[in-house]
Chain A
Amino acid sequence: MTPNMFYLLVSILFSLGLIGLVSRRNLFIVYMSVELMLSSVNLLLATFSKLLGSPDGSVIALLMIAVIAAEAALFLAMIIHLYRAKKSIDSDNFVKLKERTNHA
């Protein structure tokens, strides 16, 4: 068991999160992709913690878990709010900020 295998796994998981983030339009899958990217960074921190033999990496990962929980609560609240407004979870329907107003 070498750190290289963990580095490879972290790279693959982060890229899978990125692929899900850019290629899907379902808001829930976008949310879970963001979570997956954050969690892969957590795995990298734990790997560094073992690599350097110091508990600092584990502590940062622990704080990261709290940040991920806060992000999840806000994201889910936002999805509920958007679903109430438009009855849809398609991210293409939420482009109000993109529309240009003509009456200057």
Chain B
Amino acid sequence: MLELSIFVILALFMIGGSVAMITNKQTIFSAFGFLVAMIGLAGMFALLDSRFLALAQIMVSVGAIVVLSMLTILTINAKEESLPHEPHKYKWILVSTILVMPFTFLLYKTLSSFGQNFELTQSFTSKVIGKTLFTNWVLPFEIVSILLLAAMLGAIVIARKEEKEL
């Protein structure tokens, strides 16, 4: 019963944060909605007994990604006139909601065919995760390290000022 109430609270937080993210006009308020959704997701991971994943979510998504987005938003500091002019925003959101609804239903029906009961297992601590990561998943782990290096170089090259602009 306690788990159920925690789930409902976290789910409401996540859905509310996502809706706030989609509907707000000011970008920084959207980023706050996104932050609420990410913290709720970390709570969901903890509820699913993936403790290390919850910690990683807090450290990477909340601590790095959301803070980096907010920093970029505040650095760009788009004024009211340079924000996109969207007079029919709610109409578009309503239309796309109606269009996406059948897809949501299809996704839910497909996913519910996978399984109905959680097995009673041990929680996935960092020991279990580390053992699996460094035995069965070593190659993807190395590929991810190369991907992160490439993304870092790419971000530096893209965001750098051109020489002629200086």
**A71 CB, nearest partner CB in chain B, Å:** 8
B114 and A62 within 8 A (CB):
no
CA distance A32 to B28 in the complex (A): 11
B84 and A59 within 8 A (CB):
no
* B72 touches which of A24, A48, A58, A76 (Cβ 8 Å): A76
Contact (A12, B15) CB under 8 Å given A44-B111, A58-B52, A89-B83: yes
**With a CB–CB cut-off of 8 A, which chain B residues contact A49?**
48, 50, 124
**With a CB–CB cut-off of 8 A, which chain B residues contact A72?**
65, 68-69
Over the window 5-38 of chain A, the binary record of Cβ atoms lying under 8 Å from chain B Cβ atoms (1 yes, 0 no) is: 1111111111111111011111011011101100
A32 and B21 within 8 A (CB):
yes
Q: Does B60 contact A (CB under 8 A)?
A: yes
Within A60-86, the residues touching B (CB, 8 Å) are 60-63, 65-74, 76-81, 83-84
**With a CB–CB cut-off of 8 A, which chain B residues contact A47?**
48
**B35 CB, nearest partner CB in chain A, Å:** 10
Within B36-93, the residues touching A (CB, 8 Å) are 37-38, 41, 44-45, 47-50, 52-53, 56-57, 60-61, 64-65, 68-69, 72-73, 75-76, 78, 82-86, 89, 92-93
Over the window 84-111 of chain B, the binary record of Cβ atoms lying under 8 Å from chain A Cβ atoms (1 yes, 0 no) is: 1110010011011100110111011001
A7 and B108 within 8 A (CB):
yes
A11 and B108 within 8 A (CB):
yes
* A3 touches which of B21, B83, B93, B114 (Cβ 8 Å): B114
Interface size class of B (residues with CB under 8 A): 35 or more
A46 and B119 within 8 A (CB):
no
The residue on B at minimum CB distance from A70 is B151
The residue on B at minimum CB distance from A61 is B53
CA distance A98 to B106 in the complex (A): 33
A36 and B129 within 8 A (CB):
no
A89 and B84 within 8 A (CB):
yes
A24 and B89 within 8 A (CB):
yes
Interface centre among B140, B152, B159 (most CB of A within 10 A): B159
* B129 touches which of A58, A69, A77, A87 (Cβ 8 Å): A58
Task: List the 10 closest A-B pairs by CB distance, nearest first.
Answer: A70-B151, A90-B84, A77-B159, A53-B121, A7-B111, A77-B155, A20-B22, A25-B84, A23-B92, A77-B158
